Each structure stands twice: as C-alpha cells, then as structure tokens.
Amino acid sequence: MKNRDLRIIAGPCSIDKKNIKEIFRIAKIRINGKPAVWGTRIVGLKSRTYFNQSGLGMGIDHNVFLKNLRTILNKKTLSKLSLPESVKIAQRIVKETHLIIASEIVEPIIQLIHYEKKIFQNRLLIWNPAVNQLGWPILTMSYFAKKNGWWLGIKNPKWVGENLRKANSSKYESSTTMEKTWQGLVDYADYREKTVLIHRGVDVPEKKNYRNAPVHNIAKRVKQRTGCLLFFDPSHSHGPQMREEIVPATIEAMKMTISKNEFLYDGILIEVGTSKTDTEQHIALKEFGYLIKELSKFRNLITKR
C-alpha cells in the first residue's frame, strides 16, 4: 500500500488544566519502543451550536477571546491582546512531547495571530468548525497555514443534500451538495500539499444512533477529486450512544481501501481521556492503547513530527 503510514491525533474535546496530564500519558505510548501518536488536540474555544453567555462549555479561552475581540473593536494595538491559555498549553506540549498540536479555529484573525512565532513549522494542524462551511474563513486560515508551514484541516458539512443511502452508495455517480461544498472549501484554501479532509459524519434523519452518520463512500469521492489526505473522526461520528463501537469501527475504517494499492484513510482525529465537553464520546486511555496496538498490526504509525 502506497499510504500504509497512518497519522493519529488523540486528545480531549477541549483542553483544561486537569486533563493536560492525560496528554502527557498519550505522548508516552510506544509501539516497539517508538512513539505511536503523531499529534494531540488542544482546543481552547468551542464552536457550540448554542452560545452560553456564562462561558460554560465554551472552552478555556472564552473570556480571553471576548477580551481580545473588544480590544480589536476599540482599535487598540495588537500588543494589547492577551495570550490565550490554550496557546500557552500548546507551547508547553510541543516543547516537552514534540507532538503536533491540532486545534479547531472559530475566528482565524483573532486566534491564529497568537500561534505565530510560538508554534513552529509542521507543528500545528488547524481546522474549521463543522458548523462553519464558508470559504472566506478557510481562505484566511490557509494564508496563516502557508505562511507558517502548518497543516490545514477541513471538516465536511453536516448535511448531505440527498437520500443518505443513495448518496453514500459506491454506485452513486452524481455529486451531492455536501461534496460540492467540501470540495469548494479545498479550492478556497489552494494549499493541497498540507490540506487534510476530516470526515466527521453527517447529521441527517437517517443517522439512527450515530451522532453523525459516517459516509465513507462520499469521503472517498472527495478525496479522489481533490487529492488531499483524508482523516476519520470516529468520536463525532459515533457519539455517546455508540461509544462502545468507536474502537472496532475505527479499526474497520482504517482497513478500508480505495484500491488494492491505497488505503482510504491517512489518519485519525479521535477524542481520548476526559473533557468538560462531550465527555461521553471519549474513549479511555486503556482503550486507546488497545486501539493503537491493533492498528499497528496492519498500518505503519507515523512517529516523525
């Protein structure tokens, strides 16, 4: 297989001062004496569907983000901006573990200026919230990514635009509105050498117990049309009601192929440990250790960071 190598990003849904220790435990996982995990999640600001004015569930950077927003609106200099707590944590994690940092970016201009000169080339993967499928934020994120040598992740839209079973069939010959939007975001980025498609499933009536029904065939078509790497997000696909299926489903997905010479997925973005948000869809560190061991039997886990 030409893409037998597999990149794994694992960590909490959102970072806080208590679950940092779990990231250090993730970083220590070894297979045959070598590091097994490529990156971890350091998400300081959450893109919740409903805004909580108190900040509960909005992420550790909620207060600083609003403060910085007011600073910019009042036309004060950038030197007056406060450094978000998650960026401080990211700096520490990179320095002490050499893991890639992966983070959701809600507002590119306000958030990404803090990472420059703090997280170095190849050490950051940023992605858009699934609830934001506009091209201009992706364009802005790609400018930052290209300038700093970072990775850019693009999550798929939450809708399909067609009957789920029909659209996700290997025989489907058209292109759904979801595919067109996903591909369009890649065009906005114009940065395919380091752009990663992140498949997190779709929120449709036919999803049954999935939080977001996985659509592997649709993801396959978009990967083939764009030429981008493809990661799977089993946490947001399976969710709390199917948490027990996350490990076996991830193993199965990593065995899927496009052809006899190419695996479908190049990586995984998975929630591990504990978090103040979406805790019910996290797998435990012990389960993650088992998952790593099983994946290493048929994929080469990338350790070069």
Which residue, among 176, 125, 174, has the nearest Cα to 154 in the 3D structure? 125
SS3 305: coil
Q: If you average pLDDT over every residue of the chain, what do you get? A: 94
Q: Read off the amino acid at residue 287.
A: E
Q: What's the rounded Cα separation, in Å, for the pair 154 and 143?
A: 14
pLDDT 10s digits, 83-133: 999 999 999 999 999 999 999 999 999 999 999 989 988 899 999 999 999
Q: Report strand pairing: 151-155 vs 39-41.
A: unpaired
What integer is the mean pLDDT of 48-63?
87
Residue, of 94 and 54, whose pLDDT is higher: 94
For the ranges 22-31, 51-60, 77-86, the maximum mean pLDDT occurs at 22-31
Residues 149, 126: Cα–Cα separation, whole Å = 11
Closest CA to 16 of 48, 42, 38, 37: 42
Banded model confidence at residue 235, pLDDT cuts 50, 70, 90: very high
Query: Which of these, 250, 164, 263, lies nearest to 205 by C-alpha position?
Result: 164
Q: Report phi then psi at 7, rounded to 5.
A: -100, 130
Band (pLDDT 50/70/90 cuts) for residue 72 is: confident
Q: Strand, helix or coil at 267? A: strand
Phi/psi at 251 (5° precision): -60, -45
Model pLDDT for residues 239-294, shown as the tens digit of each residue = 999 999 999 999 999 999 999 999 999 999 999 999 999 999 999 999 999 999 99
Instruction: Count CB atoms within 10 A of the CB of residue 104.
Output: 23
Question: Looking at the predicted structure, is the pLDDT value of residue 38 above 80?
Answer: yes
Q: CA Rg, the chain, in Å?
A: 18
Which has the closest alpha carbon to 246: 290, 277, 197?
290
CA dist 253 and 268 (Å) reads: 10
**How many helices and strands in the chain, by DSSP H and E?**
11, 13
